[in-house]
Homo-oligomer: A and B are copies of this chain.
């Protein structure tokens, strides 16, 4: 048994866990060299690909952090989770699900082909670009600021502060993300968008450019792990039904076209972004009862060196190891 694995007879202390996490981050750090920075948004090329950090926050409030935890980064595709949640809260779950399906695709996140091949009435799921752009168009509001307001409000409710937009990244995305514009026009033609395309894309690029920290990602994960309630205040921030739905989508579609492998090898809901961030969610399980820390937790990972599917290459290995050692799998 690898050291650091759960000993069912031991009440683990935070320090004990912290030591192991420190070791694991050091061990998996070498894989950062095997990945590449995202190149299609120029601004993301400024990241340092040797960075790797993790933040873990238990539902009981215990927090463990290790590695490069202080680098702010933009959330990119992780925003698709928030947009989906907010759209469900604003318009109702069934309204949203009438306009976007919840099936994994087997294709890359930016595929146009799948839209045409199946002559679909609605995009495959809210976490491929076509689906996320559709969901963004459902948000209320006549300007991108109005549309984004409830997303910022949601984040503020969770984090206790309101994150800001990184305008340099926003500009970089607006200028370069041509494929999204192609997808957008396709969706206009097929009648899938409920807002004007320019407004929708502006909102979409802005939500991708929200800048947060690793600790924030862990915090968000904790709320989802706790089915949408703040563990401290027991206030409902996200309706339970919506939180559950978001987690199921994270599991089946959250890690681009490596989602199946992540479900099989790690086994917890997660969503990645091309900036190198991942938010992962370990809901509480009966079999964790000996491990007070793990009543369930949220995990944030940051490592901008990506694998071919666009996920943090070292981050995924680190998550896989932790999930195995701590028996986090939901299965």
Which residues of chain A have a CB within 8 Å of any CB of chain B? Answer: 101-107, 111-118, 124-125, 178-179, 181-186, 188-189, 244-245, 247-249, 251-253, 257-261, 263-264, 267, 269, 283-289, 295-296, 329-331
- Interface contact B102-A113, CB-CB below 8 Å: no
If over half of A's interface residues share one DSSP class (helix, strand or loop), that class is named, otherwise mixed; here it is: helix
Across-interface contacts of A104 in B (CB, < 8 A): 103-106, 252, 259-260
Across the interface, A186 reaches (CB within 8 A) one of B112, B117, B189, B283, namely: B112
Assembly CA distance A188 to B295 (angstroms): 49
Assembly CA distance A125 to B252 (angstroms): 14
- Interface contact B103-A261, CB-CB below 8 Å: yes
Across-interface contacts of A114 in B (CB, < 8 A): 106
Across the interface, A286 reaches (CB within 8 A) one of B118, B257, B261, B296, namely: B296
Instruction: Give, as a whole number of angstroms, the nearest-CB distance from A48 to chain B.
Output: 27
Copies in the complex: 4
- Interface contact B179-A189, CB-CB below 8 Å: yes
- Interface contact B331-A251, CB-CB below 8 Å: yes
Instruction: Give, as a whole number of angstroms, the nearest-CB distance from A234 to chain B.
Output: 14
Across-interface contacts of A124 in B (CB, < 8 A): 106
- Interface contact B248-A264, CB-CB below 8 Å: yes
- Interface contact B102-A329, CB-CB below 8 Å: no
Across the interface, A185 reaches (CB within 8 A) one of B117, B181, B289, namely: B181
Across-interface contacts of A178 in B (CB, < 8 A): 185-186, 188-189
- Beyond A189-B179, A269-B331, A286-B286, whether A261 also contacts B113 by CB under 8 A is no
Across-interface contacts of A185 in B (CB, < 8 A): 178-179, 181-182, 184-185
Closest-by-CB residue of B relative to A249 is B264
Across-interface contacts of A295 in B (CB, < 8 A): 286
Assembly CA distance A251 to B189 (angstroms): 30
Across-interface contacts of A101 in B (CB, < 8 A): 260-261
Across the interface, A263 reaches (CB within 8 A) one of B189, B252, B264, namely: B252
Instruction: Give, as a whole number of angstroms, the nearest-CB distance from A325 to chain B.
Output: 13
Residue among A111, A259, A329 with the highest chain B CB neighbour number at 10 A: A329
Task: Identify 19 residue pairs between A and B in the complex whose beta-carbon atoms are under 8 Å apart, listed by A's number.
Answer: A104-B252, A104-B259, A113-B113, A113-B116, A178-B188, A179-B185, A179-B186, A245-B264, A248-B263, A248-B264, A248-B331, A251-B251, A251-B263, A251-B331, A252-B264, A269-B331, A283-B330, A286-B295, A286-B296
Across-interface contacts of A260 in B (CB, < 8 A): 101-104, 125, 249, 252-253
Across the interface, A251 reaches (CB within 8 A) one of B117, B183, B252, namely: B252
